[in-house]
């Protein structure tokens, strides 16, 4: 009961501040990748090759973001756009496609708008703010100068979100075990290893999201698509990605305007997923045509 008493006191203290509140929260993002997932074929990837690919993918895996917010709206942007010219292979390319540009949320209307660039084309993706069934836990901890409380939820995963890819069951034997939180999409092939690395991975159907929020900043915002808790989300753990708030500036004199982005072709979330899937399928066909067993080179349309 002590935790709930503290939480109630913090909420009561914060209510009077919520009407005119504004601020900026800075987040450090880190994502880990299981490189054993991407060996492919009958070859084991060397440690040197893994390190080289990880270095090339670093710009996708380590980022800094700024969330500018008021009581109703927020805009979430990457602070520095790192160079990605080194590439990192098809997997890095696909992971990059799931790293959106500016994301705008209005938690009062429930609207969300985000910019995306996919294979040189710009899209304006319209959606609703994610409505997760948050479970408020008893645990609390200190994050900087703020008291943060734990909340968990189950999130369904887009089957084409390769940023969450892992080795397909059967590819690595006993080392690859299905967990309760990470139910995989069904795969047509279960036990064999393919020359196409995309055949050797799978995407979980759902994952557990763990958030730490503080009622001391009484807004329902959070990084990326996440929102809906009784306080600003300071830390977020989703599968292999962790976002940690490193600094909060309340009522900043200079901050980005909170406006919905307008750049790109307007599409719904479902329409955008279809575009990504079609392009992904095309890439796989081209890969098989150039380097797969029996390939004659060139792939379709070349």
Asked if the structure places residue 301 within a domain, the reply is no
Asked if the structure places residue 47 within a domain, the reply is yes
Asked if the structure places residue 256 within a domain, the reply is yes
Asked if the structure places residue 298 within a domain, the reply is no
Enclosing domain of residue 254: 2-291
Please give the chain's pLDDT, 302 residues, in tens: 555 555 554 554 444 455 679 999 999 999 887 665 555 444 566 777 767 766 666 667 789 999 999 999 999 999 865 454 445 455 555 555 556 789 999 999 999 999 998 888 999 999 999 889 999 999 999 999 999 999 999 999 887 776 776 766 655 444 444 455 555 555 444 445 555 556 667 778 899 999 999 999 999 999 999 999 999 999 999 988 999 999 999 998 887 789 999 999 999 999 999 998 888 888 778 777 665 544 444 443 33
Tokens 């380097």 belong to which residue?
Answer: 291
pLDDT at 183: 52
First-to-last C-alpha distance (Å) of the chain = 67
Tokens 């006993």 belong to which residue?
Answer: 174
CA angle 219, 226, 81 (to 5 degrees): 105
Tally of structural domains, the chain = 1
pLDDT at 42: 47
Contact call for residues 289 and 302 (beta carbons, < 8 A): yes
Asked if the structure places residue 302 within a domain, the reply is no
User: What pTM did the predictor assign?
Assistant: 0.74
């Amino acid at each position: 009961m002590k935790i709930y008493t503290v939480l109630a006191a913090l909420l009561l203290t914060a209510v009077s501040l919520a009407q005119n509140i504004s601020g900026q929260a800075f987040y450090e993002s880190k994502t880990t990748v299981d490189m054993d997932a991407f060996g492919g074929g009958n070859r084991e990837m060397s440690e040197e090759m893994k390190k080289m690919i990880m270095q090339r993918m670093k710009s996708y895996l380590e980022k800094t973001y700024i969330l500018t917010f008021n009581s109703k709206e927020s805009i979430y942007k990457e602070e520095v756009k790192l160079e990605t010219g080194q590439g990192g292979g098809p997997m890095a390319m696909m992971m990059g496609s799931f790293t959106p540009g500016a994301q705008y949320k209005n938690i009062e209307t429930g609207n969300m708008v985000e910019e995306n660039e996919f294979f040189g084309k710009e899209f304006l993706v319209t959606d609703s703010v994610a409505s997760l069934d948050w479970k408020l836990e008893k645990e609390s901890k200190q994050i900087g100068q703020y008291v943060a409380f734990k909340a968990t939820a189950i999130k369904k995963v887009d089957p084409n979100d390769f940023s969450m890819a892992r080795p397909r069951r059967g590819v690595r034997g006993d080392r690859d075990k299905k967990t309760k939180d990470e139910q995989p999409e069904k795969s047509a092939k279960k036990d064999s290893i393919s020359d196409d690395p995309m055949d050797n991975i799978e995407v979980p159907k759902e994952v557990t999201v763990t958030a730490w929020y503080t009622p001391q900043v009484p807004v329902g915002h959070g990084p990326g698509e996440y929102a809906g808790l009784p306080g600003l989300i300071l830390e977020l753990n989703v599968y292999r990605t962790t976002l940690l708030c490193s600094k909060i500036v309340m009522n900043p004199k200079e901050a980005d305007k909170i406006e919905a982005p307008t750049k790109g072709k307007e599409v719904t979330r479902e329409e955008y997923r279809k575009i990504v899937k079609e392009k992904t399928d095309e890439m796989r066909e081209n890969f098989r045509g150039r380097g797969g067993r029996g390939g004659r080179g060139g792939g379709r349309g070349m």
